[in-house]
Every structure is written in structure tokens, then in C-alpha cells.
Structure 1
């Protein structure tokens, strides 16, 4: 590809609203452009990156027996009603009607659609196992699109689905996908973690997320000894110990002290010696008082799982006391976090301006708190890192096959629900994660496998000069050898050409100028670390040396 013909609108300045590094650099490098809130267009160089990632994913899913297909993004709402997700998901699901008034859905995932098709075809145990996948646009009405292509309203996802006879077959299919995903992320040149995660709206019995650590990540990963990694939403660890409560007793006058910090400071005690009240309302139980140690925070995912039903924070008109002074009440159901060990704590007295010392007795406990810095696993402190979610996998079981009638007959003619798995991966997020992890102060530094081009040849002469002719010849030789080369044949000056090359981040740059003609060599620089190669590359018959150098790059 010639730069003079490439639609690559580079920018010197990042968008004013850009915070994530990948957002800034992908716009500046001319890879993407915004059409509207959460709506992004992939320009030619960016699309090359995206499609190289797609090809890596395709190769690895094909290698484990996946069969590629394509399902529509527009679905009849009836399928989503049958699965129960039409009402359960809420505002993030795009809903519309066609001209006949039929309710439709713009799909954010394809469990309903693929199960509908499988139910029409699968009849016998002989039809199983089966693995189907596609790359398709997904639509999600994000409340707060942000960070460029990281959180959007429309994106492309690879979603694969496995169909098996039993849990043992699902476990094997799940393990094959875990291995394939590991190969995908390694081939894409990412640092990544596999983390235990919550099943969320997908349902099922187990799930893992794949996380790429970087400062722009919206998720937090808890890392511990022996390879422990889990999304902060569901991670568990031992809390820091706190001293036993001493120096206070009975009723305590605490005027205006409505926060944990104010009460602990006023009484001169550790925040962990207080009970923090988190009142919630559920459809089945009504008002429930959730209590944690004062130094801990509620994990809403853990709490929802512990309650077994949705919840919302209680309004002030639903409370049995003033906000900031809430404590245990014998007339209300209470849920205690497992870090609240039996003993004495300072809690709200359920009257204004007063706390009191209460004794918490032994009893049932549930883990509903978020892991904090300073917590430990096996005596070793955990580490919490921000990360980008770049994929997820789910053991669905019969979550969709039951309501959508996807069954098979076994060897004895007995009917069973098909056991399913679901596996998603986002090429756009892989691209953004690669930018976040590998960029420097000059621009992007792509991993070799997903770079928009293999090699960039920068000709420093004007069109028609000997320097440009030498650059053209080297470019032609590289293409003949099978390298995906980019030639900067523009009339721009050296400074602009070098700045654009560093911004775009092609792994290997060759520069051909007057000195090249004098020495018979092109200057060679590896983009990662901007390392100049001593001696350069011969202009004549140097293409194979370039290929060897490129192959040696990570």
C-alpha cells in the first residue's frame, strides 16, 4: 500500500474528551473516527488491525472444531421473551417494532438465535457434540459510552456456542475454548489473565473472563498466590485483622457524625470496629439490613447472588431510622458479611446523633464485600490491577435449551435438554488493549501479528528522485517476498513522515535517503523501543534480510 493512496487522516492533537490512551492514539493515528456517541467507524488501517485479529481468532476456533456461520443482528423479540431476557436485561437491550408492529430486538448476543436453529436440527445424541460460531455486529444501549472503542453501543464480537449431551461434554468443550483463547491472546501479543467471574445476565453455572491489564481498564482484577485471579466483583480474600474494640461502651453521643470516618475518628477506634449498614429492598423479602465492617464496601454482584434476587438501595422513607445512624433492629431481617466475626462493634442506634456498642452473635454469614488492598490469600497480600475485559466464556448448561426446546434423544430413546456453552471475544478490545500495553510517548507500537502493516518504507526523496526510486524498488522487493509493506511516497518532509510512522506503529521501519544511496543501505529501526539496527539493510537484494529481521521480532 502506498501512503499517498491510503486514507489515513492522522492528527497532531487527541480529541478533547479522550481519556484512555488507546482512544487518543487510535484517533490520532487515523485508525478510527467517531460517528456518534458510542458509534465508531474503522478506517482502512484500523480495519486491517481488526481483521488480522479476526483471522487469528478464526484460525484458533476452527482448530478446535468450530464451524463458522452468520446469524442476523435483528431478532424477533419472542425468542428473547421465551428465554426470559427480554424483560430481565432492561434498558441496555435495543427494542423496536417493524412496520407491522412486531416487537424486535437488536441483539447484544446470540444465545437465543443459535439455540432456535439448533433446536430445529438436533434430534439424536448422534448429532452431538457441535460447535458453531460467527463474527457479527452486536448492539448495546450503553448508558455512558466512553474510552473510544472500549465501551461502545455497536461492536463486532466472535461468539461461539457448543452443544453437548451432558456436563462432561460441556466441560471438555469449555476446556478446548480455554486453551484456544490462551493461544489467541498470546498470538496477539497481549499480557492477559484468565479470571473467575460472575455469570451475570448470561446465566449458567460457571464463567471466566479474560483481562488485559492496563490503566484504562474499567474492571479490576484481584491477583494472589498460586495463580489466583478473579474479577473484583466476585474475588475473595482474608481481610486485614483489626484489634478488639476497647475504650467505648453503651450508648454513644455522636452528633453530626454520619460517616464511618467521622465516627471512628471521634471515638478513636479502628473503622473495622464499626458496623456499616447497607439497607436494601428486594421483591420477595422487602427491606433487608446488610451489615459489613466499617472499613469494607459492598460488592453488588456478591450481594445479588447471596440474596438470590434483584435488589435496590432503600429510600430514606423506607428506613427505620435516620441515615447515618442505622444499626441492627430485631424487627428487620439482617444479613452479615462473613468478615463480621462475633464480638462487639459500634453501630448506629437508629436514633439521631447516637451510636451504641452492640454484640454480634455467631450465626450465618455470607461473603458480600469487595476485596481491598491489604487483604491476603494464604498470608500473601493480594494485588489489585485495572484491566480491560477482552473475552468471556460461560458454562450455560440448559439455561437456554430448556425454554427454547433444544433437546435430543439418547441411546435409549429418552429425551434430554442439550447442554450448552457460550464463548465471546472482542477484536476491538484486543486492538485497544494492544495499544494501551505497548504504546510509548511517540505513538502506537503494535505487536507484529496484528500490526496494520509488517514493514514501512519511508522514502525521503521527492517523487522522481533517485532516493524515491530506491525506496520504490525496496518496497517492490518486500511485496514480492510476501511482506505486507507500506511505502510513504508522499511529498511531505522527513519530520512529518517520521512522526506519522512512529504514530502508526508499524513494527519495522526502513528509511531510504541520500545517505542510503551513498552507503548502499537503508536505515532500519524496530518500532518497539525505537531500536536502530546497526549496519542497516542492503538496498540491493536486501528483502530477505528484512524478512529475517521481521521474523525475529516479538
Structure 2
């Protein structure tokens, strides 16, 4: 490839709306161009990276036995209505109508379509297992698109779907895909971590996320440095406290705490540790019973130094469809606005659930359900009934690991892949069955496996950049090697050597580009450092007279002189096999 025949469009400054490093550098390097909110054109330089990501994904998916097809971007609403996701998916689902007034969606994912294919094409157990995948455009109508490709509305994703005869076979297919993902992210050259995760809106029984480690990541990854335990914050388990509860030493006392509505302020006023206070979170569940609206109010109790995990709260029996209570509801049930709430002396009965860390507490402090007052010396069994307990909180660094093999640490990550054990979540709704050995219909067992292809670009840059620009891993860089000739348009010896070297590298299977634009050396080097090409070869008249070229890796601080005759072997030794 010659730069004069390619399209290179770099910027000295990033647009004002580019908030994070990956967005700024991709715009400056001419890899993407904004078309609309959360919608980008992939420019030639960026598209080369995307194609390399896709090639690795396809190679490993094919190696794992998956079969590629291509499902449409636009899907009929009827399929989504069968599974209930037409109503449940929410505002992120882009709904459209055709000229006849029929409802369609622009797909964010393809569970319904692939299940429809399976129920019409898979008839017998002899056709199982099978795994279909595609690489396709997706659209999610994000409320606040931001961060370039990290949280855009239109993006490219690889999604795969396995079909099996029973749960045991489905778990085998799941493990095959999990192992394939390990190989994929290893080949990308990224530092990553697979973590146990919550299935969320996709549904199913078990899942893992794959995170690229980056300090700027939006997600908190919980792991144990001395074991294999890892989970995202939503799914990370808080180990129960096994120490026995201490006996009460204080009387229950209503204590004045004027103007102190937060646990931190109450603890400071009373000169006690924050972990001796209990915070109250009020939730409401509304259900229709016998044609009437039944409203239940729940009080969740957490230690003052802990935060609620909303996903865990939704798993408490009876709280699947909760919402946070309004102030009017809080006043009606507790007799006071938020800030002084507690489980003692509520106006109306509430369902109390205590976090695992609250159940062992004694002599704790909680709201008195009266403005400007808290109870001190509160104790279970004496002042209020023994609590129903549940794991409700976000874990914190230093908590005991649930596997008992150390303590937890937390790092930031960017989710770029997710694998799910769906089970019969979709096959049951859509009546996708096959005939077993006895000729009896059985529901297909499904797995689902996604990789955010375009999101990989942003995640890779967030992990790999410096003051000069992007530092691509060589496997997904737009070019592996750039040739920078000094005076290409003025020096015949330099021109000849550069042309010959380009031809030799291409013949050797090296993805190289020759910068024949006639740019000044400083501007030329700055462009390629910004773009992030991993290997640079400088061809100059002085070096050629000695039979030498200058090689410099993207993160190396000095150049190395290499014999002209050995440069191709030198480069190939530095590239992946």
C-alpha cells in the first residue's frame, strides 16, 4: 500500500465533543467521522482495524465449529412480540413502520430471528448441536450516546447462537465458546479478564463478560489476586460474616441528630464509626390482584459504609419489578421524609430485608422515623424481629473472597464480550422444538455469545496509548509496518530502495505501507505515531550508503540500525506467527 493512494486525514486537535482518549485519538487519526449523534462513518484507516478484528473473530469462530450466516438488520415486530421483548426492551429498541403500517425493529440483537430459523430448520436431534453466528450492524437508541464507538447507537457486533438437545450439552457448547473467546482476546493482544456476570435483559441462567482492562473503564471488575474468582460488580458475591453477633450493651435511645440526614453526618456527630450506622432504602412493588392495584413497600437495610447493588435487590423474592419509592409513599409508610428512616415504629407495615453485613450488627444506629432523630443502641431480637437477610450490597476492596482463598480487589474494565447460557428462555416462548430419539418434541437449549467488534477499537486504545497517539497491538493495527523514506520525491536511491522494500515486505506477507507523500520527516513521523503503526522503518540516503536502515518500534525511544539485506527477516521476527 502507498500512502498517496490511500486516504490519510489526521488532525492536530480533537473535536470539542470528544470526551475520552479513544474518541479523541480516533477522530485525530482519521479513523472515524461523526455523522450524527452516536453514528459514525468508519473511515479507511479505521475500517482496516475493524476488518482485522473481524478476521480474528471469524477464524476462531470457524475453528470452534460455528457456522456463519447473515441475519437482517430490520426485523418484524411479531417475533419480538412472541418473546415479550417488544414491550420489555424499552426505549433503546428502535421501532419503525413500513409503508403499509406494519411494525418492525432495527435490531439490537438477534435472539428472536435465530430462534425462528431454528424452529423451522431443526427437526431432529441428529442435527444437533449447531452454532450459527454472524457479524452484523446493530442499533440501540441510547439515551445519551457518548465516548465515540464506546457508547454509540450504531455499531458492529458478532453474535453467535448455539442449539443443543439438553442442558448438559448446552454447557458443553458454552464452554467451547468461552474457550474460543479466550483465544480471540489473546490474539487481539489485549490485557483482558473474563468475569462472572448477571444475564440482565438477555435472560438465561449463567453468563460471563469479557473485559479489556483499562483505568478509564466504566465497569468495576471484582477479582481475587490469589485465586480464579472474578465477577463484575453486579454479580460479585459478598461473603457472609461468620463471627457471632455481640450481645447488646446499650439501651435503645432516641437521640437528637438535627439536620443530619446522611449516615456520614450522623456518625461524625455521634463520634462513632460509619460501619456502626444503618442506612435505609425504600422500594415499592405494585401488582394487580383481583383487578385491584396492590402496593407493597419494602425497606432494605445496609451498613452505612456500603452501597446498594440494584441487580441483587431485584433478585430478592418479591422484588423482581421494584422501583424506588416516591417521597409521598415514604411519608405515608414511615411518617417522615427520607433521611431519618428505619425499621422501628413504621406507620404502616413494611417488608424488611437486611444485608448480610447488617444481620450480625449490635448496638447499631438507624433512623427513628422522626425528623432530626435517630435510634442508638438498636439490636435485633430485642428491639425488632430477627431480619430476613440477603446479599444486597456492592462488594468493596478487602472483602473476603467468596471462594475463601483471599481478599477481593477491584479494577476498571471495558466490557467487549458476553457469553450467556440461555437455556429455554427463547425456545419456550417461540415453541422451538426438535424430535428426540423417541420421536417426542423437546425444547431446544440455547446459548448466546456476543463480541462488540467496533467497541474493541475504543477499548484497545483506552488500554494502549501515549502522549503521541495510539499504540495498536500489532495483530489489529491498520498496518504492521510503515516505511518512511527521507526525500522520496527528490532522491532516486531512496525511492528505489523504498519501492523495493515495500514489494519485498508485501511478498513476505507483511502488511506494510509506504509513505510516498513527500512530507517533512517530523510531520510524517507524527502522523504514524498518532495512527499507531507498531513498526517504522526509515530509509535515508546516508544510511543507504552504509547498507543500513533505521528501525524503531512504536514504544521504543531510540532507533536501531539494521542491514538492508536483513530487514525483512528482522521485521518478520517481530510479527505474530
Q: Does 1:278 align with 2:291?
A: no
Alpha-carbon spacing, 1:442–1:247, altered in 2? closer, same or farther (3 Å): farther
Q: Does structure 2 retain, via aligned residues, the 8 Å contact 1:242–1:273?
A: no
Alpha-carbon spacing, 1:129–1:520, altered in 2? closer, same or farther (3 Å): same
Q: Does structure 2 retain, via aligned residues, the 8 Å contact 1:524–1:537?
A: no
Secondary structure of the equivalent of 1:425? Answer: strand
**Structure 1 CA distance, aligned partners of 2:6 and 2:568?**
23
Q: Is the deviation greater in 277-286 or in 213-222? A: 277-286
Counterpart selection for 2:528 from 464, 483, 501: 501
Secondary structure of the equivalent of 1:350? Answer: strand
Counterpart selection for 1:309 from 316, 320, 343: 320
Secondary structure of the equivalent of 2:461? Answer: helix
Alpha-carbon spacing, 1:450–1:530, altered in 2? closer, same or farther (3 Å): farther
**Structure 1 CA distance, aligned partners of 2:99 and 2:251?**
70
**Structure 2 CA distance, aligned partners of 1:387 and 1:104?**
34
**Structure 2 CA distance, aligned partners of 1:247 and 1:412?**
69
TM-score (norm 2): 0.92
Alpha-carbon spacing, 1:379–1:410, altered in 2? closer, same or farther (3 Å): closer
Alpha-carbon offset, residue 528 of structure 1: 3.2
2:371 is aligned to 352
Aligned residues: 550
Q: Is the deviation greater in 120-129 or in 466-475? A: 466-475
1:340 is aligned to 358
Q: Provide Cα deviations, 1:470-506, integer angstroms capped at 9, x if missing partner.
A: 2222112212222111111112111000111111111
Q: Does structure 1 retain, via aligned residues, the 8 Å contact 2:238–2:391?
A: no
2:556 is aligned to 529
Alpha-carbon offset, residue 545 of structure 1: 3.4
Q: Does structure 1 retain, via aligned residues, the 8 Å contact 2:197–2:234?
A: yes
2:307 is aligned to 297
1:373 is aligned to 397
**Structure 1 CA distance, aligned partners of 2:125 and 2:14?**
56
**Structure 1 CA distance, aligned partners of 2:398 and 2:156?**
38
Alpha-carbon spacing, 1:438–1:41, altered in 2? closer, same or farther (3 Å): same
Q: Provide Cα deviations, 1:421-464, integer angstroms capped at 9, x if missing partner.
A: 00001122222222222222211121111111121000110414
Q: Provide Cα deviations, 1:127-186, integer angstroms capped at 9, x if missing partner.
A: 211110000111101112122111110111100000000001101000000110000000
Secondary structure of the equivalent of 1:227? Answer: coil
TM-score (norm 1): 0.95
The runs of 5 or more residues in structure 2 that have no matched partner are: 288-294
Alpha-carbon offset, residue 469 of structure 1: 3.0
**Structure 2 CA distance, aligned partners of 1:521 and 1:246?**
83
Alpha-carbon spacing, 1:34–1:59, altered in 2? closer, same or farther (3 Å): same
1:442 is aligned to 468
Q: Is the deviation greater in 18-27 or in 260-269? A: 18-27
Alpha-carbon offset, residue 248 of structure 1: 7.7
The runs of 5 or more residues in structure 1 that have no matched partner are: none
1:53 is aligned to 53
**Structure 2 CA distance, aligned partners of 1:280 and 1:220?**
25
**Structure 1 CA distance, aligned partners of 2:31 and 2:324?**
43
Q: Does structure 2 retain, via aligned residues, the 8 Å contact 1:481–1:544?
A: no
Alpha-carbon spacing, 1:145–1:243, altered in 2? closer, same or farther (3 Å): farther
Q: Does structure 1 retain, via aligned residues, the 8 Å contact 2:359–2:387?
A: no
**Structure 1 CA distance, aligned partners of 2:10 and 2:374?**
61
State how 1:149-164 maps to structure 2 within 5 Å: 149-164=149-164
CA RMSD of aligned residues (A): 2.0
Alpha-carbon spacing, 1:414–1:470, altered in 2? closer, same or farther (3 Å): same
**Structure 2 CA distance, aligned partners of 1:89 and 1:24?**
31
State how 1:81-160 maps to structure 2 within 5 Å: 81-160=81-160
1:420 is aligned to 446
1:197 is aligned to 197
Alpha-carbon spacing, 1:354–1:17, altered in 2? closer, same or farther (3 Å): same
Q: Does structure 2 retain, via aligned residues, the 8 Å contact 1:326–1:350?
A: yes
**Structure 1 CA distance, aligned partners of 2:532 and 2:251?**
63
Alpha-carbon offset, residue 84 of structure 1: 1.1
1:254 is aligned to 257
2:236 is aligned to 235
Q: Does structure 2 retain, via aligned residues, the 8 Å contact 1:239–1:375?
A: no
Q: Does structure 2 retain, via aligned residues, the 8 Å contact 1:93–1:140?
A: yes
Secondary structure of the equivalent of 2:470? Answer: coil
Q: Does structure 2 retain, via aligned residues, the 8 Å contact 1:537–1:546?
A: no
1:323 is aligned to 338
Q: Provide Cα deviations, 1:310-357, integer angstroms capped at 9, x if missing partner.
A: 221111110122210111137111111111124332111111111113
